[in-house]
Amino acid sequence: MDLAPGYKSILTCNTIPPLTTWSSSLQNTSVMASSFSIAASLAGAASLLLSSSGVHAQVAAAQRALPDKAQIIDQKSFNVLEVVPPPLEFNASSVFLWPGVTHESLTEKPFHIYDPEFYDIIGSDPSLTLIATSETDPIFHEAVVWYPPTEEVFFVQNAGPPAAGTGLNKSSIVQKIRLADAEALRNGSLGTKEVTVTTVPSNPQVINPNGGTNYKGQIIFAGEGQGDRVPSALYLMNPVEPYNTTILVNNYFGRQFNSLNDVVVSRRNGDIYFTDTQYGYWQHFRPAPGLPNQVYRLNPTTGALTVVTDEFVSPNGITLSPDGTYAYVTDTGISQGQFGTNFTKPATVYRFEVKEDGTFENRKIFAHTSARLPDGVHCDSKGNVYAGCNDGVHVWNPSGKLIGKIYTGTTAANFQFAGDGRMVITGQTKLFYATFAASGAALT
């Protein structure tokens, strides 16, 4: 459905574009290109513009075959629109479908190339497979964690939505799938239409889990808490039976956290960084906040707990660059649960420098997302940054340039790499399995 009638059409390319697609600086060579063979014109353009930034990459991209499941998005073609609707008609909650494209055309070729750098990420034969669905219950939410010894991927149900019935009256649950099943479904050898989703009976139960990460062969979950008597906490869970758990921390000097959301472990210093926000309150299963929404650092050896940064509306996802020198934190203040949406609040990825002593400094805007908000955030082994947004997974290079999307056509709350060239994406009521060239950053 076209939610923005009257928008100027954009061409979504299914064939290799001319060199002019990638750089306005090459447009002056178009006459020359029409007079010579493709190889000669590419060589001539490269020779004439040798000093131009990125020319060699542009030439190489133009010579590469476009993967079957990829399409090129030319942003210049929708920089100027005939009609730009007012905010009440089109805003961050809207799906940007312009004349000339449909939901079907965007999902048919789900690897969207915004910049030639994305070719190296997706490789020559990327794929995206829907591997499980739920009618209304958002059982595929966040805390996506790959456990290599069993080749399983864990994730959790959403806490708070009415469709789930979770939050105050019952806790959301931990679940898992086998990657072998996902691959078999992708290649057509599974024999069923969906993979098996198994409930994980954590013991004692992780209460309303939301974020998760690997930690020394186990999994850390950020539990949001329940009511005013079950505090928000970090849980450590054994990923194999009996799935026993212990609590790492559940207070800040005697005060309850608001609603712990996401967690990451530094490979450089071993510290545990986690975000605390107020979605439990916004979703009516936690009391009003008693602390600022901020990011904490836990030294698991000494137990020292410190605040590393605040000044957020709603700090959400958190990750570190592969070398641990940068931290990325998403602020999803735009979405305030059952309190509604405020389009003037952040939908932003912030970057911090992580000093040798583990503290954060030099906060800067890394990216502002175009599709509602950035939720879960992770890096690949090259330092590119990925975030789950309302139309799929967005990918930026380390400088903050949008280079591509893995377009699911639905909310991608979170995701995680599962080794080399594999990714599992949680879309609330849909679970996806992607294969492409990039690999995730090393696990802790």
Judge contact between 334 and 348, C-beta under 8 A. no
Helix axes 38-48, 55-63, angle to 10 degrees: 170
C-alpha to C-alpha distance for 289 and 210, rounded to whole angstroms: 18
In a domain, 82, yes or no: no
In a domain, 87, yes or no: no
Q: Please give the pLDDT value at position 231.
A: 99
Q: What is the pLDDT of residues 102-160, one digit of tens each?
A: 999 999 999 999 999 999 999 999 999 999 999 999 999 999 999 999 999 999 999 99
Tell me: do 344 and 427 sit in the same domain: yes
Tell me: do 301 and 414 sit in the same domain: yes
Tell me: do 53 and 185 sit in the same domain: no
Q: Please give the pLDDT value at position 26.
A: 34
Q: Please give the pLDDT value at position 12.
A: 36
In a domain, 194, yes or no: yes
In a domain, 116, yes or no: no
Q: What is the pLDDT of residues 368-416, one digit of tens each?
A: 998 999 999 999 999 999 999 999 999 999 999 999 999 999 999 999 9
Tell me: do 291 and 369 sit in the same domain: yes
Q: Calculate the alpha carbon distances from 88 to 66, 93, 96 in Å.
A: 38, 10, 14
Judge contact between 412 and 405, C-beta under 8 A. no
In a domain, 370, yes or no: yes
Tell me: do 39 and 131 sit in the same domain: no
What CATH number is given to the structural domain containing 329?
2.120.10.30
Tell me: do 197 and 57 sit in the same domain: no
Element housing 177 (H / E): strand 174-178
Q: What is the pLDDT of residues 347-364, one digit of tens each?
A: 999 999 999 999 999 999
Give residue for tokens 């991927």.
Answer: 153
Tell me: do 139 and 48 sit in the same domain: no
Q: Which domain holds residue 43?
A: 17-63
Q: Calculate the alpha carbon distances from 441 to 115, 277, 379, 404 in Å.
A: 22, 26, 6, 19
| Residues of the chain with confidence (pLDDT) below 70 | 1-63
DSSP category for residue 189? -
Domains of the chain: total: 2
Tell me: do 128 and 59 sit in the same domain: no
